[in-house]
């Protein structure tokens, strides 16, 4: 069996509001940065590899000129948001020892991908995976799941996918992949 894991909120935290509240004491600024950056169309375009970070920053600056320093502070610190979820990380060696294939499937932009690959050693335990920025599709697009299956010649009937978003779980099911809504690392144990 092959275990396929999402990255955000499965392997690492992705909680923009918590992150922003750690940067700014003013809730108005927190909400403005969440909307301007994490809730933007540009964030999705970066996940798709269709927009570079510096291009997105220019757009953010033009859109919210009174918040330039806050935008820059947020972007400068964004990698600190992606802290490992230790309960899941501890399972990775067990998954490998059990003889299962281990893959990741994540919507992520190039700069964050590079940070994770360079700084998160546990990613070396994976047999492979797909980051959205490399193929220009994002979940729940069927192309994301199909690309992973085709690239690694995986039989969807022999895979279990874990994601924290119901829409992504449902999309994987449509591709014939058994899928589980990730709530805690415990839910993965049932498949080892």
Average pLDDT over residues 109-132: 94
Regarding whether 105 and 41 lie in a shared domain, the answer is no
Exposed e or buried b per residue across 50-87, where buried means at least 16 C-beta atoms within 10 angstroms of its C-beta: ebeeeebbeebeeebeebeebbeebbeebeebbebbee
pLDDT value of position 187: 87
What's the chain's average pLDDT? 95
pLDDT, one tens digit per residue, over 139-158 is: 999 999 999 999 999 999 99
Would you call 153 helix, strand, or coil by DSSP?
Answer: coil
d(CA 87, CA 186): 8
Regarding whether 107 and 63 lie in a shared domain, the answer is no
> Domain end: 81, 111, 135, which one?
81
pLDDT, one tens digit per residue, over 16-38 is: 999 999 999 999 999 999 999 99
> Domain end: 59, 81, 103, which one?
81
Q: Is it true that the peptide bond before 140 is cis, omega within 30 degrees of 0?
A: yes
Using alpha carbons, select from 47, 41, 167 the residue that is nearest to residue 112.
47
- Segments in 64-165 forming alpha helices (H): 68-77, 86-97, 110-119, 132-135, 142-151
CB 53 within 8 A of CB 109: yes
d(CA 131, CA 159): 18
> Domain end: 66, 81, 96, which one?
81
CB within 8 Å of 11: residues ≥ 6 apart: 5, 84, 85, 88, 89, 104, 120, 122
Assign residue 96 the CATH number of its domain: 3.40.50.1000
pLDDT value of position 90: 94
pLDDT value of position 11: 95
Query: Is the pLDDT score of 189 beyond 90?
Result: no
pLDDT value of position 34: 96
Give the confidence band of 190 by pLDDT, cuts at 50, 70, 90: confident
pLDDT value of position 32: 96
Regarding whether 105 and 39 lie in a shared domain, the answer is no
Using alpha carbons, select from 74, 82, 77, 80 the residue that is nearest to residue 36.
74
pLDDT value of position 99: 92
Using alpha carbons, select from 149, 147, 146, 145 the residue that is nearest to residue 163.
145
Tokens of 183: 């709530």
Using alpha carbons, select from 163, 186, 9, 134 the residue that is nearest to residue 81.
9
Residue 55 sits at φ, ψ, to 5 deg, of -70, -40
Number of domains in the chain: 2
Would you call 49 helix, strand, or coil by DSSP?
Answer: coil
Regarding whether 153 and 63 lie in a shared domain, the answer is no
């Amino acid at each position: 069996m092959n275990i396929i894991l999402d990255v955000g909120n499965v392997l690492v935290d992705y909680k923009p509001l918590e992150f922003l509240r750690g940067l700014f004491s003013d809730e108005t600024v927190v909400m403005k940065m969440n909307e301007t950056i994490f809730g933007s169309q540009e964030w999705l375009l970066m996940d798709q590899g269709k927009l570079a970070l510096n291009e997105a920053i220019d757009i953010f600056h033009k859109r919210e000129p009174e918040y330039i320093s806050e935008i820059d502070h947020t972007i400068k610190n964004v990698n600190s948001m992606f802290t490992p979820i230790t309960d899941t990380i501890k399972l990775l060696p067990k998954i490998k020892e059990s003889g299962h294939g281990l893959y990741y499937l994540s919507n992520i932009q190039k700069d964050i991908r590079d940070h994770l690959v360079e700084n998160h050693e546990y990613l070396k335990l994976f047999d492979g995976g797909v980051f959205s920025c490399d193929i220009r599709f994002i979940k729940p697009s069927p192309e994301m799941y199909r690309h992973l299956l085709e690239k690694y010649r995986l039989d969807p009937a022999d895979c279990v996918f874990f994601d924290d978003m119901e829409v992504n779980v449902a999309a994987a099911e449509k591709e014939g992949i058994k899928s589980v809504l990730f709530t805690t690392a415990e839910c993965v144990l049932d498949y080892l």
